[in-house]
Amino acid sequence: MTAPDPETDPEAGTPPADAAPARRHAAGADPAKRAQILEGAARAFLEKGFDAASMEDVRRAAGVSKGTIYVYFADKVELFEALVADKRDRMFADVISLLEEDLPLRAKLTRFGEALSRVLCSEDVIRAQRIVIGAVARMPGMGERFYRVGPSRMHDRLAALFEAEVAAGRLAVPDARMAAVQFIELVSAGVWRRRLFCGPHAGVEEAEIVRTVASAVELLLRAWGRGEARQGLDD
Amino acid sequence: MTAPDPETDPEAGTPPADAAPARRHAAGADPAKRAQILEGAARAFLEKGFDAASMEDVRRAAGVSKGTIYVYFADKVELFEALVADKRDRMFADVISLLEEDLPLRAKLTRFGEALSRVLCSEDVIRAQRIVIGAVARMPGMGERFYRVGPSRMHDRLAALFEAEVAAGRLAVPDARMAAVQFIELVSAGVWRRRLFCGPHAGVEEAEIVRTVASAVELLLRAWGRGEARQGLDD
Amino acid sequence: MTAPDPETDPEAGTPPADAAPARRHAAGADPAKRAQILEGAARAFLEKGFDAASMEDVRRAAGVSKGTIYVYFADKVELFEALVADKRDRMFADVISLLEEDLPLRAKLTRFGEALSRVLCSEDVIRAQRIVIGAVARMPGMGERFYRVGPSRMHDRLAALFEAEVAAGRLAVPDARMAAVQFIELVSAGVWRRRLFCGPHAGVEEAEIVRTVASAVELLLRAWGRGEARQGLDD
Amino acid sequence: MTAPDPETDPEAGTPPADAAPARRHAAGADPAKRAQILEGAARAFLEKGFDAASMEDVRRAAGVSKGTIYVYFADKVELFEALVADKRDRMFADVISLLEEDLPLRAKLTRFGEALSRVLCSEDVIRAQRIVIGAVARMPGMGERFYRVGPSRMHDRLAALFEAEVAAGRLAVPDARMAAVQFIELVSAGVWRRRLFCGPHAGVEEAEIVRTVASAVELLLRAWGRGEARQGLDD
DNA sequence: TATGAATGAGATTTCATTCAT
DNA sequence: AATGAATGAAATCTCATTCAT
């Protein structure tokens, strides 16, 4: 389901780490060192951005030598792309899994919406998105992969859910994918975009997220909810 | 109404060109040359991004000498901020003015939504937004000003419109501002975010925008429309 | 006596200012404007040094346009050399004139020594000397002219005085010029060199100068004084 | 006695080269490379002066890359200050040591005076002094350190010697420090100052130095010498 | 003749990348 | 295989000088 996309998985092609209990890894093939570098890179890039962070910053944060970084990654761009690929997958998997839970529609949408909104608008993730967006001009492939693995996959899952609900007679959406896209937009309506452009506004956000998601759910159900899904809507 | 905010208007403070019938402009005060530099800067920055575009790129695109650029702008950051301030105001004013037109609600929302979505998702504006977002970490003020003059002002106008419609009995939204924020999010649902991360997908976008805006209007009216505003909704 | 050395007088060759009461001067020939530029240059160079002072600093201090400066002086170096030539002459003339006064030897040497030391060690003159010395590598002629017009001329005058005193039987120096050189060195012994390398030490200098000159006079007269010139020396 | 002043010793703080038997030096810690850079800097600065010599000149003279220079020295000023500190200490130590020799007063003063005068008036040292003096306005600390380590320390040593001679009945100076300052001024009387302002006058200097120092010694002893120290003075 | 906006060569400094150890 | 000192291209910015007005 979240099997690594060979095109985007930088580890593809390296011998399986456990093939032999070798004491020594081939050049650039020690997964622990690779992870260590990525961790340092994450710290350095998140703090300063892609251009402003120097390879020296990365080296210092990772605690390895510069030469080693270049054994594992061909250049700064490849390191950054690998880093994004790495974080990306982790980030979205958890949120998507919320859609698999067995809950009433309204509750499921609410939990999913809040989780997604919290993640997307958290300081670190906002910074990461800013950096990725800012780098799209120079690394177009990376942006597209990010979108495909993240938002786009989310749209697919949610659309499938909506189709099931339509089949079950609890929703009357004429276009499940459009509705899914709209819902995902609505759960961070006003918050995500603002956070992208503005610094964090001291702590107000959790309440805002709850309110925004509730409003998104209500808007959706009021427009397209049927049967039990309309319960509690003062019509 | 859209009078230039003195704090954000980069041209504010330059002596009026007609104070004296001087043929010669003061240093850094020739509006034509200033515009020429900004035009070159726009080309250079839009093509490569803030960091990747060098002042030499700007110079070449603008067709002036490096020294001249530094007569008009103290440094690269100031040049970029001036450029953003310059484009920003022009960009949003037109769209907002569509809300003043005398049209039925559904038509007005559709026209406004399409215009906004077209602007926000056009190649140049997307590039500009990517660069601004990518630069927020280093120039926080600029991002905030952009948001305030653009999206935020839009929210205000649309919320006012919704309140008037509520008073007129054509809408039943419980929270006009939330609804405004949601609508603005919906008119480019799925498109804006995708464009931020991905390159242009040759030509498909106009149709997508029309479809998306129509869906946004329907969702809103289906949920909160009253009286004549519900006409045409197959309930 | 202090007639302008044609080689060093930058005004040489310009038509006499009063030849005709012309309303308009030839290009670069208005002595008032020339003086105005030199005055501004003095302020700018004394404050920042030759390299650190920009022609813009000079222009601002002088209150003329850049173009005008270049009408009067071919380049920055020529301006500086003219400035030095200008100040130089004024500076030394007053001190030398003290040697012409009709006073007993001891008093004359004391007055002359103190005046010389005060001038040479005053903040502005120290700054000027630092700048000239620092510029010798690039403008060797200027340093030599400065030395010839200043210290060297001083040596000549004082040597002549000493010879007269020898003839009068009040001094027994075997080498009048050497004695003159020594005396001039002694009147600012320890002070001038220190001031060249160090910043001003709040106010202590006047007392130090008096003490130093007194000691210089005593040393000279104790070694070479004869007759009445030895009065007051506790032998 | 001439132990390096930690504040002014640029090599202080570098890890001892033998802490580990490492073949490889830490960044900016290879003394040979450091010396190579300083050597190049000396050539470049002595030839052109501080401002006129570019880092490119230094790089060329040193035969290293520009990046390497900036590994060893934070910027141009720090490089220059390190260079001055480096030469300064070497320069004065030798001369001062001459005062420790066991010789009759007259011979000791003569040898010391000639050595000092030769050093201070040699072409390279004169150039160095010009540059330091020219840079005092921008780097006041450096000028003061130069004076303290050089002339000022010299005054102290010589004053101590004079005091010992007074105690031994061979000198009757009323103020040993003043006499020391005077003597140091006298040994290069007329030469040092002239050299500061003027270029080298082919080879005449050695004879001039001998003559000047002899005259200085005679002046001092004639004024203040007692007992055996007066031998040879035709009174 | 005086002006000052424009010029562009050149200055200092940074940093992604390499390669001898 | 890992290291990190060295590299040098390229970036930003300054300023002496020119020339159209």
Reported as a single tens digit per residue, the pLDDT across C76-100 is 999 999 999 999 988 888 888 888 8
What pLDDT score was predicted for residue C11? 40
Q: Does D134 touch chain C (CB under 8 A)?
A: yes
Least confident window among A191-200, B59-68, D22-31:
D22-31
Q: pLDDT, tens digit, for every residue of C148-164?
A: 999 999 999 999 999 99
- B91 versus C224: which is more confidently predicted? C224
Which domains are assigned to chain C? 87-227 (1.10.357.10)
Instruction: For chain C, give percent helix, strand, coil, nearest 5.
Output: 70, 0, 30
What pLDDT score was predicted for residue A12? 42
Least confident window among A144-153, C102-111, C224-233, D117-126:
C224-233
Determine the distance in angstroms separating the CA of B142 from the nearest CA of chain A, rounded to an integer.
8
Question: Which residue of chain B is at minimal alpha-carbon distance from A128?
Answer: B134
Q: How far apart are the first and last CA of chain A?
A: 41
Angstrom distances, CA of residue A71 to CA of A67, B40, B162, B218, C106: 6, 40, 59, 55, 84
At residue D90, does pLDDT exceed 50?
Answer: yes
Nearest CA to A157 among A190, A221, A108? A108
What pLDDT score was predicted for residue D169? 94
- D162 versus C230: which is more confidently predicted? D162
What pLDDT score was predicted for residue B142? 94
CA pair distance D83, D106, nearest whole angstrom: 36
D chain contacts of residue C222, beta-carbon cutoff 8 Å: 222-224
Which nucleotide comes closest to C29 if you measure CA to C1'? E1
CA pair distance A116, C149, nearest whole angstrom: 84
Angstrom distances, CA of residue A62 to CA of A31, A46, A74: 14, 13, 17
Mean pLDDT of chain D: 87
Query: Sorting pLDDT into bands at 50, 70 and 90, what band is D29?
Result: confident
CA pair distance D190, A119, nearest whole angstrom: 80
- Range B181-190 average pLDDT: 97
What pLDDT score was predicted for residue B94? 85
CA pair distance A183, A192, nearest whole angstrom: 14
CA pair distance A128, B196, nearest whole angstrom: 14
Least confident window among A87-96, B3-12, D165-174:
B3-12
Nearest CA to C96 among C176, C196, C180, C213? C180
Rounded to the nearest 5°, which phi and psi values hold at C171?
-140, 150
Which nucleotide comes closest to C65 if you measure CA to C1'? E3
Query: Sorting pLDDT into bands at 50, 70 and 90, what band is B125?
Result: very high
User: Please, which residues have CB within 8 angstroms of residue B117's CB and are 6 or more apart in sequence?
Assistant: B187, B188, B191, B192, B209, B212, B213
Q: Does C26 touch chain D (CB under 8 A)?
A: no
Q: Does A80 touch chain B (CB under 8 A)?
A: no
- Range A53-78 average pLDDT: 96
Q: To the nearest 10°, report the CA torsion of B70, B73, B74, B79.
A: -120
Residue with tokens 């390159």: B199
Rounded to the nearest 5°, which phi and psi values hold at D137?
-60, -35
- Range D171-179 average pLDDT: 97
Q: Does B171 touch chain A (CB under 8 A)?
A: no
Q: Does D178 touch chain C (CB under 8 A)?
A: yes
Q: Does C95 touch chain D (CB under 8 A)?
A: no
Nearest CB neighbour to B197, from listed A127, A143, A198: A143
Nearest CB neighbour to C190, from listed D48, D181, D190: D181
- Range A110-138 average pLDDT: 94
- A206 versus C23: which is more confidently predicted? A206
Angstrom distances, CA of residue D96 to CA of B190, C196, D113, D116, D154: 83, 22, 10, 8, 7
Contact A197 B143 (CB under 8 A): yes
What pLDDT score was predicted for residue D214? 97
At residue C4, does pLDDT exceed 50?
Answer: no
Q: How many CB pairs under 8 A join C and D?
A: 144
Mutation target among C54, C175, C195, C219 for the D interface, most CBs of D within 10 A: C219
Q: pLDDT, tens digit, for every residue of C190-217?
A: 999 999 999 887 556 899 999 999 999 9
| C66 within 8 A of C86, measured Cβ to Cβ | no
Chains B and D in direct contact, meaning 3 or more beta-carbon pairs closer than 8 angstroms: no
Q: Does A158 touch chain B (CB under 8 A)?
A: no
- Range D73-93 average pLDDT: 93
- Range D102-130 average pLDDT: 94
What pLDDT score was predicted for residue C20? 44
Tell the burial category of A235 from Cβ atoms under 10 Å away from its Cβ (0-12, 13-18, 19+): exposed
Tell the burial category of B210 from Cβ atoms under 10 Å away from its Cβ (0-12, 13-18, 19+): middle
| B85 within 8 A of B9, measured Cβ to Cβ | yes
What pLDDT score was predicted for residue C3? 41
Nearest CA to A136 among B43, B125, B126, B140? B126
Query: Sorting pLDDT into bands at 50, 70 and 90, what band is A49?
Result: very high
Instruction: Strand E: list positions under 7 Å from protein Cβ.
Output: 1-21
CA pair distance B83, B75, nearest whole angstrom: 12
- Tokens representing B113 are 């939504």
CA pair distance A88, A14, nearest whole angstrom: 21
What pLDDT score was predicted for residue A216? 98
CA pair distance C69, A164, nearest whole angstrom: 85
Nearest CA to C137 among C185, C83, C77, C82? C77
What pLDDT score was predicted for residue B231? 83
Query: Sorting pLDDT into bands at 50, 70 and 90, what band is A110?
Result: very high
| B159 within 8 A of B111, measured Cβ to Cβ | no
pLDDT over 70 percentage in chain D: 86
The radius of gyration of chain C's CA atoms, rounded to the nearest angstrom, is: 21
Contact B48 A216 (CB under 8 A): no
Distance A67 CA to F3 C1' (A): 6
- Tokens representing B200 are 């242009």
How long, in residues, is chain D? Answer: 235
What pLDDT score was predicted for residue B123? 93
Q: pLDDT, tens digit, for every residue of A169-187?
A: 999 999 999 999 999 999 9
User: Please, which residues have CB within 8 angstroms of residue D5's CB and are 6 or more apart in sequence?
Assistant: D149
What pLDDT score was predicted for residue C98? 85
Largest interatomic CA distance in chain C: 70
Q: pLDDT, tens digit, for every residue of C22-75?
A: 456 777 679 999 999 999 999 999 999 999 999 999 999 999 999 999 999 999
Per the DSSP assignment, residues forming a β-bridge with C13 are none
CA pair distance C19, C17, nearest whole angstrom: 6
Per-position DSSP letters for chain B, written without gaps between them: --PPPTTT-TTTTSPPTTSS--SSPPTT--HHHHHHHHHHHHHHHHHH-TTTS-HHHHHHHHTS-HHHHHHH-SSHHHHHHHHHHHHHHHHHHHHHHGGGS---HHHHHHHHHHHHHHHHHSHHHHHHHHHHHHHTTT-HHHHHHHHIIIIIHHHHHHHHHHHHHHHTTSB--S-HHHHHHHHHHHHTTTHHHHHHHS---TTTHHHHHHHHHHHHHHHHHHHHB-GGGGTT---
User: Please, which residues have CB within 8 angstroms of residue A223's CB and are 6 or more apart in sequence?
Assistant: B218, B219, B222, B223
Point out the residue nearest to F19 (C-alpha to C1'): C67
pLDDT over 90 percentage in chain C: 74
User: Please, which residues have CB within 8 angstroms of residue A114's CB and are 6 or more apart in sequence?
Assistant: A187, A209, A210, A213
Taking only residues 50 to 69 of chain C, the set having a beta carbon closer than 8 angstroms to any beta carbon of chain D reads 50-52
Tell the burial category of D125 from Cβ atoms under 10 Å away from its Cβ (0-12, 13-18, 19+): middle
pLDDT over 70 percentage in chain A: 87
CA pair distance B113, B180, nearest whole angstrom: 11
| A224 within 8 A of A173, measured Cβ to Cβ | yes
Point out the residue nearest to E1 (C-alpha to C1'): C27
Taking only residues 183 to 212 of chain D, the set having a beta carbon closer than 8 angstroms to any beta carbon of chain C reads 185-186, 189-190, 193-194, 196-199, 211-212
Q: Does B143 touch chain A (CB under 8 A)?
A: yes
| B158 within 8 A of B187, measured Cβ to Cβ | no
**What is the residue type of C117?**
S
At residue B14, does pLDDT exceed 60?
Answer: no
| B172 within 8 A of B166, measured Cβ to Cβ | yes
Nearest CA to D195 among C147, C139, C81? C147
At residue A3, does pLDDT exceed 60?
Answer: no
What pLDDT score was predicted for residue D171? 96
B chain contacts of residue A51, beta-carbon cutoff 8 Å: 51-52
| A46 within 8 A of A128, measured Cβ to Cβ | yes
Q: To the nearest 10°, report the CA torsion of A85, A88, A89, A90.
A: 120
